[in-house]
Amino acid sequence: MTNSARRIAITGMIMSGLLAIMKLTIGWLAHSAALSADGFESTADVFASGTVLAALTLAERPADENHPYGHGRAETLAGLLLGFLLMVAGWAIAWHGLAGAADEKRVPEAYAIWPLVISIGVKFGLVAVKSRKAREIGSASLRADATNDSIDMLSGIVALVALSLARYDPVRFLHADHYGAFLIGLIVIVTSLRIMYDSAMHLMDTMPDAGAMMQIRQVALRVPEVAGVEKCFARKTGLKYHVDLHLEVDPEITVRRSHEIATNVRIAIKDALPWVADVLVHVEPAPN
């Protein structure tokens, strides 16, 4: 894991923790269910960033005898765990939002708006930084963490609207604050399902998109004495992909020469495509 990725994960934990304390405290003092719900969501963000940090640290460990493909799958498993944690948090937030709606008598205080405005601004910055770094290193868990922050930003906007309605017309919209909290919970649940689905697809060795697979083939075909590429598969094992390539060469050349061509193809793909961890090349005779 790069030092910058580690700093981003740690910064995310600290910022989410401070925001959670602020929103939960002021939400309780200001009698705002929506702000409290957003605070619970920020609390989940602390665990999410901690999970990402642990996963990225484990994923960078080198391959060993029992893990010849490295430990990158820990990063994918972290995305799955993160989705599960968000689902639990979503259900808790939704239940908390509706639990006291029927008996609500007090209008939320106006100062409850400011923690939401601050949170939206902070989360906007974290989403931008985490998304950019996730693209650079190909991290599924960091991307999931950025998505989680974007949902926290969205939940802050929902809470802000709900709280504003309750303040604007307490007679008609007194319960809007609670319903806003319930909506935040539903948003978190939907997001958790998407994160778990994406992680599950990686665990099931889903291939990258057609454009990425074409890049692998094109690099291989540019190597001298390569007659063709019969098959090409790729699976993600953490931050990068492992590629299986069936290479066609002249059937009359020596085994030594075919091995040299295969080695050249492996080196060329790894040099040209930084998102490829390694390439296993199978050499086959080209059809006449």
Instruction: Say whether both 191 and 257 belong to one domain.
Output: no
Q: Domain range spanning residue 95?
A: 3-203
Q: Residue 47: left if φ>0, alpha if ψ -120 to 50, beta else—which one?
A: alpha
For residues 174 and 107, is the Cβ–Cβ distance under 8 A? Answer: yes
Instruction: Say whether both 178 and 266 belong to one domain.
Output: no
DSSP 210-277: HHHHHHHHHHHHTSTT--EEEEEEEEE-SSSEEEEEEEEE-TTS-HHHHHHHHHHHHHHHHHH-TTEE
Instruction: Say whether both 147 and 162 belong to one domain.
Output: yes
Give the model's pLDDT for residue 101.
59
The arrangement of strands across the sheet holding 228-236 comes to: 228-236, 241-249, 276-285
For residues 114 and 23, is the Cβ–Cβ distance under 8 A? Answer: no
pLDDT digits (tens, 9 = 90+) for 23-60: 889 988 888 877 887 888 788 778 777 777 777 777 77
What is the domain-level CATH number for residue 168? 1.20.1510.10
Domain boundary among 203, 220, 251: 203
pLDDT digits (tens, 9 = 90+) for 119-166: 899 989 988 888 888 877 766 667 777 877 887 788 788 888 888 888
This prediction has a pTM of 0.64
Counted domains in the chain = 2
- pLDDT of 20 > 80? The answer is yes
Tell me the average pLDDT of the chain.
83
Q: HSE (CB half, 13 Å, CA atoms) of 262?
A: 23
Task: Report which secondary-structure segment, H or E, holds 285.
Answer: strand 276-285
Instruction: Say whether both 190 and 218 belong to one domain.
Output: no
Domain boundary among 159, 184, 203: 203
For residues 108 and 163, is the Cβ–Cβ distance under 8 A? Answer: yes
Give the model's pLDDT for residue 271.
93
What is the domain-level CATH number for residue 258? 3.30.70.1350
Give the model's pLDDT for residue 243.
94
Give the model's pLDDT for residue 1.
47
Instruction: Say whether both 59 and 182 belong to one domain.
Output: yes
Q: Could you tell me which residues come within 8 angstroms of residue 106 by beta carbon, excluding any fewer than 6 positions away?
A: 31
Rounded Cα gap, residues 46 and 102, in angstroms? 31
pLDDT digits (tens, 9 = 90+) for 217-238: 999 999 999 999 999 999 887 6
- pLDDT of 104 > 60? The answer is no
Instruction: Say whether both 96 and 31 belong to one domain.
Output: yes
- pLDDT of 174 > 50? The answer is yes
Give the model's pLDDT for residue 103.
60
Residues paired with 243 in a beta bridge: 234, 279
pLDDT digits (tens, 9 = 90+) for 238-257: 677 889 999 999 999 999 99
Considering 16-25, 100-109, 140-149, 204-213, the range whose residues carry the highest mean pLDDT is: 16-25
Rounded Cα gap, residues 64 and 223, in angstroms? 31
Give the model's pLDDT for residue 100.
62
- pLDDT of 17 > 80? The answer is yes
Cβ neighbours around 54 below 10 Å, total: 16
Residues belonging to the chain: 288
Give the model's pLDDT for residue 38.
80
Domain boundary among 203, 237, 257: 203
Confidence of residue 268 (pLDDT cuts 50, 70, 90): very high
Confidence of residue 2 (pLDDT cuts 50, 70, 90): low
- pLDDT of 259 > 80? The answer is yes
Q: Could you tell me which residues come within 8 angstroms of residue 60 by beta carbon, excluding any fewer than 6 positions away?
A: 1, 71
Higher-confidence residue of 122 and 102: namely 122
Instruction: Say whether both 78 and 185 belong to one domain.
Output: yes
